[in-house]
Amino acid sequence: MAKLKQQSLQKRDAELANAKRQVEILSNGIFANGELPTFAKKIKEINKLPLRPKKLEILQINVGYMCNQVCEHCHVDAGPDRKEIMTWETMELALEVIKNTGAHTLDLTGGAPEMNPHFRRFVEEASKAGIKDFIVRSNLTIIRANKKYHDLPEFFKKHNVHVVSSMPHWTKGKTDKQRGEGVFDMSITALQQLNAIGYGMPDSGLRLDLVYNPNGAYLPGDQASMEKEFKHALMEDFGIQFHNLFAITNLPIARFLDYLIASENYEDYMYQLVEAYNPAAVENVMCTNTISISWDGYLFDCDFNQMLKLPVASKVKHLKDYNEDLLNDRNIVISQHCYGCTAGAGSSCQGTVTE
């Protein structure tokens, strides 16, 4: 059983549980006094202000902030104490959108999406819509957390779900430090279970990808090199296989922002992000091809804006009014956290965004 590290910011009634306060912090200090350029100023230099969407490719639905883990870096501030869960009524609205969307990818996230009581029914219905790539972001430990979740790998297989799982490192020490004691061992067992039914095997159509994010106030290394290291170590030590590794930058919001400030790393981290700013990454940043839907049916440019409570700048703000053409004619809402998606090779829920 994994041992939880802490409670969510919300449960602790912490200052940064307030999204407005987070946006203030990101707008003030080194960005207000001109020490560092704002993201808007930076993308104006390459004529990308206002940032506009391209063709919609990905619908990302956050089905709730409840999670069995309380990871130190979590941008959702998820945990067992979070009660925001998508209702079946909202899921029905989402299903209508899924049936009619032009997007080729459906991406379910959370929290632990599997903890939503309607999760299986929703996956069953959504998988009928003929979406090309159906992703569930599973934290792996949920599969081992309770008997009722043990058959999730078979359930995923039945619906041809593409499993994307967090795995911060190939060593126990680094993984447990970020995600809680016991997480590494449970994740390894879950990965072996997924491999056993065909997930992640070289020629298998059952896609299993891993997500790596740094264990502190530094940026991810080269995605291809990290993938090589992960593959070698997981195969050597545990006989585990997977398809791709997505290297994701930690964005300075919610618990990661809280950590940066408490550890006095905030300014240095923002400097790192700004120094690593890559104009080429702006072209493919994920908000240009994604719509993020919150547990209560509201629409956002990305999961990060959702957590900062920065809704889409469009007349269409909720699933009940969903209109893809109208939505695509909007300016994307930006702040300084956006530097996290344009640093180095860029970062998105699908990993880097440049070649």
Partner 1 sequence: MASNNYYDPADLRKFGEITEWSEELGTKFFDYYGKVFEEGALTAREKALIALAVAHTEQCPYCIDAYTKDTLQRGVTKEQMMEAIHVGAAIKSGATLVHGTMMMNKVNKLEM
Summarize as ranges the residues that interact with partner 1 (CB under 8 A). 169-171, 173-174, 212, 214-216, 218-222, 225-226, 229-230, 271, 275
Q: Which is nearer to partner 1, 23 or 226 (CB)?
A: 226
- Give me 299's structure tokens: 């629409």
Min CB(219)–partner 1 separation in Å: 6
Task: Provide the minimum distance between the beta carbon of 271 and partner 1 in the complex, in angstroms, as a whole number.
Answer: 7
Strand partners, 58: 105, 290
Of residues 12 and 174, the one with the C-beta less far from partner 1: 174
Rounded to the nearest whole angstrom, what is the least distance from the CB of residue 19 to partner 1 in the complex? 29
Decide: 123 and 155 in contact? Cβ < 8 Å: yes
Phi, psi of 200 (to 5 degrees): 80, 0
Complex with partner 1: residue 174 or 309, whichever CB lies closer: 174
Rounded to a whole number of angstroms, the minimum distance from the CB of residue 171 to partner 1 is: 6
Measured distance CA(264)–CA(95) in Å, rounded: 44
Give least dist CB 213 to partner 1, A.
11
CB of 79 or CB of 346, closer to partner 1: 346
Q: Return the number of the residue (153 or 344) whose C-beta is nearest partner 1.
A: 344
Q: Is 59 helix (H, G, I), strand (E, B) or coil?
A: strand
Neighbours of 273 (CB within 10 A): 25
Residue 225 burial (CB count, 10 A): 11
Is the Cβ of residue 1 or residue 280 nearer to partner 1 in the bound state? 280
Shortest spacing between CB 137 and partner 1, in angstroms: 21
Give the residues across from 3 on adjacent strands. Answer: 181
CB of 1 to partner 1, least distance (A): 25
22 alpha-carbon distance from chain centroid = 18
The total of other beta-carbon atoms located within 10 Å of residue 331's CB is 14
To the nearest whole angstrom, how small is the minimum distance from the Cβ of residue 254 to partner 1? 22
How many Cβ atoms sit within 10 Å of the Cβ of residue 296? 14
| CA–CA–CA angle 204, 116, 67 (5° rounding) | 85
Distances (CA, A) of 145 to 116, 120, 148, 223: 14, 17, 9, 30
Q: Quote the CA–CA distance of 154 and 134 in Å, as a whole number.
A: 15
Nearer Cβ to partner 1 (62/223): 223
Indicate left, alpha or beta for 175 from its phi (over 0: left) and psi (-120 to 50: alpha): alpha
**Minimal distance in Å, beta carbon 225 to partner 1?**
6
Q: Which is nearer to partner 1, 134 or 339 (CB)?
A: 339
Tell me if 215 sits within 8 A of 174, measured CB to CB: yes
Cα separation, 103 vs 57, in Å, equals 4
- Could you give phi then psi for residue 162, rounded to 5 degrees? -90, 115
**Closest CB to partner 1 among 110 and 168?**
168
